[in-house]
Structure 1
């Protein structure tokens, strides 16, 4: 079965014998090494019903690597969270612990916000 993302949008039929369809597929960015990542660790409670979360932003790379880093941080803090769209959300105020883990793993991380 073809997935919906594989559809050729805008091209129905071409009479040109040399026509080659070009996909609009995006190449996934290669994950930068930890020394080149500029991560920002901040406390956030907007749109979360007043609950505090530790937000790690600025990750550049593949989703699998983001998920791996998110799982590591969630395990070290012993809490739940989520990792998607280049952000890692850790439930609760764990800025200091997250900073310590990131620096131990060789990431360049800064505290952001108050």
Structure 2
């Protein structure tokens, strides 16, 4: 008899709480981290880009997230040095997608 069974015998009416962070990780296809992602806007060579920094998942998860963002927006982009670069200014759409996926996001600049 393990500890959970003993507690059920002592407190039959009590229902254990579920951990919300585990539920988010189970339902998401990406690895969800505790620290927020940083979403910022820059111009390089006169062209607008959106940069997402702070994702510290595995390389495969990093590639999946980049691919999902590029497919969602139908634009080009790349991932390098723990940053995701998306062509164009799509901060609002990216932030809503990341929030729906379970991430916490901070908007930097403008």
Structure 1 residue 35: deviation in Å?
4.7
Match of 1:34 in 2: 32
Q: Which of the two has greater helix per residue?
A: 2
4+ aligned runs moved over 3 Å, structure 1: none
Which of 59, 78, 85 is residue 74 of structure 2 equivalent to?
Answer: 78
Match of 2:42 in 1: 44
Q: Which runs of 5+ in 2 are unaligned?
A: 1-29
Structure 1 residue 62: deviation in Å?
1.6
Which of 90, 95, 99 is residue 94 of structure 1 equivalent to?
Answer: 90
Deviation digits for residues 8-53 of structure 1 (CA, Å, limit 9, x no counterpart): xxxxxxxxxxxxxxxxxxxxxxxx94151410111011xx211110
Aligned pair count reads: 81
Q: TM-score, normalised by structure 1?
A: 0.66
CA distance in 1, matches of 2:92, 2:40: 10
Q: TM-score, normalised by structure 2?
A: 0.68
Deviation digits for residues 39-81 of structure 1 (CA, Å, limit 9, x no counterpart): 0111011xx2111101000011222111110000111111000
**Secondary structure, aligned partner of 1:34:** coil
The two structures, once aligned, show a CA RMSD in angstroms of 1.5
Q: Which runs of 5+ in 1 are unaligned?
A: 1-31
